[in-house]
């Protein structure tokens, strides 16, 4: 091949490489794994205001001990800005690599999603479900400020 032909081929390879790089830069970015992780809140957030954006998930994790009969329950969500994602779940504590220990505590996990701008109030109660006339042993509340 002549040197002119090699020059043309090299120039085409260079142009195609630049085109590929510019297309990759303009391609829509997929959300990172961090963006998909929920905001995690615990007992220390009781009574606080939390700012979130539409589509963001919030996980509330509260310690308890189901063996005592007490469970965390969703008492109410006031306002349409936030919705519950599924039901709460109790996860017993377990040693690393082991199975849950009889009588040990655990964590109740509730997940919520911000669905539209506004304000929503969340109330959770720690109680025995069959004791209808007894006040909860503990309460947990949050106010969500949801922005676009």
The pTM of the full predicted model, rounded to 2 decimals, is 0.73
Quick: pLDDT tens for 81-130: 999 999 999 999 988 888 877 788 999 999 999 999 999 999 999 999 99
| Contact of 105 with 43, CB cutoff 8 Å | no
- Asked whether residue 61 falls in the same domain as residue 89, the answer is yes
Distance in angstroms (rounded) separating the CA atoms of residues 12 and 73: 65
- DSSP state, 115? -
- Asked whether residue 25 falls in the same domain as residue 40, the answer is no
- Asked whether residue 53 falls in the same domain as residue 75, the answer is yes
Strand, helix or coil at 100?
Answer: coil
- Asked whether residue 96 falls in the same domain as residue 130, the answer is yes
Given this model, what pLDDT does residue 99 score? 80
Domain ranges, residue 51: 33-147
Given this model, what pLDDT does residue 30 score? 44
- Asked whether residue 18 falls in the same domain as residue 39, the answer is no
């Amino acid at each position: 091949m002549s040197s002119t032909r090699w020059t043309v081929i090299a120039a085409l390879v260079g142009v195609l490489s630049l085109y590929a790089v510019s297309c990759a830069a303009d391609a829509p970015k997929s959300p990172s794994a961090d963006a998909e992780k929920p905001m995690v809140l615990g007992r220390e957030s009781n009574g606080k205001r939390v700012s979130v954006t539409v589509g963001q998930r919030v996980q509330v994790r509260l310690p308890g001990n189901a063996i005592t009969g007490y469970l965390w329950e969703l008492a109410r969500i006031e306002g349409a800005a936030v919705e519950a994602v599924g039901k709460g779940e109790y996860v017993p504590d377990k040693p690393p690599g082991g199975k849950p220990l009889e009588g040990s505590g655990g964590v109740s996990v509730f997940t919520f999603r911000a669905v539209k701008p506004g304000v929503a109030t969340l109330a959770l109660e720690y109680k025995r479900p069959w004791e209808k006339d007894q006040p909860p042993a503990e309460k947990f509340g949050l106010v969500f400020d949801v922005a676009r």
